[in-house]
Amino acid sequence: MKNTVFTGAATALITPFKNGQVDYDAYGKIIEAQIAGGIDALVAVGTTGEGPTLSDAEHKAVVKYCVDKAAGRVPVIAGTGSNDISYAIELTKYCCDIGADAMLLVTPYYNKATQKGLIESFTAIADASTKPCILYNVPGRTGCNIAPETDAVLADHERIVAVKEASGNISQIAKIAELCGDKMDIYSGNDDQIIPVLSLGGKGVISVLSNLLPGETSQMCHLYWEGKLREALKMQLDYLPLVDALFSEVNPIPAKAAMAALGFCENSLRLPLTTMDKKKEENLFACMRKVGLLEE
């Protein structure tokens, strides 16, 4: 069995902006609140962190800030995947060198690699890494799906230890569990499927919801493992309207609006993302009030 990077919930952190630049003061406050709230791990510069709009220098600086701020209190997973594999290798080497605990490797987007191409690409990045690598399957964004059989091949690599599954396809996730066994951990990439993925042997979730509710998202997982299935399922269903609202527009548009409403940052995004539709924002805030995040 390979070493597990984390169990429970890892937050796919937003990247706060102010006056068009990364707001490190806000980022630091978010990281501290996450750790104090009981989060199990942090993901710097994933999809939720608006990685595609960060320059190379910003991307590296944000990951380094997160690693330094976390200071070993929780694992930090760096988003280092790209459709440019040579860049992904360079970025992975950098993040290994500065102390990130693991890498998150999204499938090459827009290129739409074949399964052979995925195997060769992920292998090349993992060969260059000195830290564990988590594959990231999100075909709705990338136009490319990692087949379970491809996961099974990649699971034989020493440093490919897990997959974040955001395909939404529970049958596919079951197949991954069957084919990979204990050679590859599975994390839910969808907040509305945490309990279903745990029921298939998943080790947790890489979450957007936990930006707002770090402790509660982690607790949902741990209640499940403690055998308190009804309580865990109740949390999953109670938070479902909020999860739906957080994905009512392209992520992280709603997450940014929510975190701004909680006072963590400005509601500032980089194009092509824009601020949230007002009716959808009102619904988001109503869902936040319902779970006690905002005052009535």
d(CA 105, CA 23): 25
Q: Which phi and psi (to 5°) does residue 211 adopt?
A: -55, -40
Say which of 136, 187, 224, 239 is annotated catalytic: 136
Question: For the chain, where are the alpha helices, taking DSSP H only?
Answer: 24-37, 56-70, 85-97, 115-128, 139-142, 148-154, 170-180, 194-199, 214-225, 229-238, 240-246, 253-261, 278-290
What are the beta bridge partners of residue 186?
163
Class of domain 8-226: alpha beta
d(CA 287, CA 102): 33
Say which of 69, 164, 203, 256 is annotated catalytic: 164
- 125: its two tokens: 């990045």
- The domain spans of the chain are 8-226
Do 165 and 193 form a contact (C-beta atoms < 8 A)? no
Per-position pLDDT tens, the chain of length 296: 678 999 999 999 999 999 999 999 999 999 999 999 999 999 999 999 999 999 999 999 999 999 999 999 999 999 999 999 999 999 999 999 999 999 999 999 999 899 999 999 999 999 999 999 999 999 999 999 999 999 999 999 999 999 999 999 999 999 999 999 999 999 999 999 999 999 999 999 999 999 999 999 999 999 999 999 999 999 999 999 999 999 999 999 999 999 999 999 999 999 999 999 999 999 999 999 999 999 87
The verdict on whether 224 is a catalytic residue reads no
Q: Any idea what the Cα angle at residue 26 is, between residues 270 and 59, rounded to 5°?
A: 50
- 14: its two tokens: 């937003």
The verdict on whether 164 is a catalytic residue reads yes
